[in-house]
Amino acid sequence: MEQKLFKEELAYWLANKKRLLETAPGKIVLIKGDKDYGFFDTDEAAYEAGVRLFGDESFFIQELLEYDNIADFPAYLVNCH
Amino acid sequence: MPIIELNYKPLNMGRNIVPPAQNLFLHGAFVNIAIAPIPKPGGTQQSVVPAIGKALIDTGATFTCVDEDVCQALGLHAVGTSNISHVDGKSARARYPVQISFPDFQLPPLKLIRATSVILNNMTPPFIALIGRDLLLTSN
């Protein structure tokens, strides 16, 4: 994965994780650059809001969980670095 | 959750015909799928040709993932990242919004906002997606 992908958004997420978690635990937050644009109940609602706000530009959707989900792919994936 | 019935056909591999049971043994449980961008809210249609191929039903995968080359060919924009654990270690991968259809079954298209991108083009047969437990969970 390109290292610069969502560099600014990830930095914002990490810097504001505690506040965001306290504000809306379990919700989905929409982030663009160094600003968040609201909380949503579902991925789909967050995505539709992102498309309305930013069109074809990239935006970042993050589930507000204390511990990040690490996905397991035990069988098939190699050379993913 | 819908119940679908898969009938494996003999697989033509050059001079050899692989019988259905051997086909299942070699390739696992797979279905034909079409992957497309999610239609934009408001009804504007996109003129992107869907990617059509085979997807492995992978109950060992937490999340459904789509081949990175497919995501690039469809012109998708990432909407997040995911940390994944696999036999080769751990990686951070992009996540893309996709719509997955099943042309062989009467199932509605499924929107998956954060499908994980992975590299599948070195697999045999060349799967374009792994159907993970998240998609199985939503297929009701």
Looking at residue A2, its pLDDT comes to 46
User: Does residue B112 form part of some domain?
Assistant: yes
What is the domain extent for residue B129?
29-138
Q: What is the total count of domains within chain B?
A: 1
Q: What is residue A62's DSSP assignment?
A: E
A58 chain-B contacts, CB cut-off 8 A: 77-79
User: How does DSSP assign B54-77, residue by residue?
Assistant: EEEE-TT-SS-EEEHHHHHHTTPP
**Could you say which of A51, A76, A81 has the minimum Cβ distance to residue B130?**
A76
Give the other-Cβ count within 10 Å of B124's Cβ.
7
pLDDT digits (tens, 9 = 90+) for B22-45: 888 887 888 899 999 998 766 665
Of the listed ranges A34-38, B44-48, B73-77, the one predicted with least confidence: B44-48
pLDDT digits (tens, 9 = 90+) for A12-24: 999 999 999 999 9
Give the pTM: 0.83
**Could you say which of B40, B111, B118 has the minimum Cβ distance to residue A44?**
B111
Q: Which residue has the higher pLDDT, B121 or B67?
A: B67
Looking at residue B26, its pLDDT comes to 80
User: Does residue B77 form part of some domain?
Assistant: yes
Cβ A37 vs Cβ A12: under 8 Å: no
Integer Cα distance of A51 and B41 in angstroms: 8
A14 chain-B contacts, CB cut-off 8 A: none
